[in-house]
A = this chain, B = another copy of it.
Amino acid sequence: MAEQKLRYTLILTHSPSQLESNLSAQQLAVEILSAGDAIDRVFFYQDACFIGLNSQVPGQGLQASYQGWVDLQSEYEVPLQVCIANSLRRGVLDKAEAARYQMVDNIHPSFQLVGLGEIAEACQSSDRIITL
C-alpha cells in the first residue's frame, strides 16, 4: 500500500459471552494487520477484563474468548493490555498482582495488567482509537 501506515488502539468494554464485540474486534484486528497497519495496543476495560480469564472451558470445537488475541499476539506481537484497577476489582490477576495479594494468577500470560496511562499514550500516539 502506498498509503501512510496508521497506528490503532482498540478499546474493548464488554464481557465475551453475551455480545459479539470481542469477536468483531478480533476480526477487525486481523484486517488492520493484514492491510499493513499497526495496532499499538488492545485495551480491555470494564467487563472486557474477563476476556483474559485463563480457566475458560469452551464447548467442543469452540475457542476461549482470549484465543483470537493470543494468536494475533504470537504472529504480530500486539500488546494485550488489561486495565489493572478494573481487573483487580473483578478478580482477574496476573502473576505480579497475584503475588502481591497472595492469590493465584488467573489471566492468560499473553495479557498484561497496565494502568490508564496507556490510554493517555493512545490519545497521544495512535492515529485511530476504536471502542467496541
Contact = CB atoms under 8 A, between A and B. Distances in A.
A105 B90 CA distance: 16
Chain A interface, DSSP helix/strand/loop, else mixed: loop
B90 A56 contact: yes
B55 A106 contact: yes
Interface residues of A, number: 28
Contacts of A64: 91
Interface string A34-70: 0000000000001100100111111100001000000
Interface string A102-123: 0110100000000000000000
A64 B93 CA distance: 15
Interface of A: 15-18, 46-47, 50, 53-59, 64, 86, 88-93, 97-98, 101, 103-104, 106
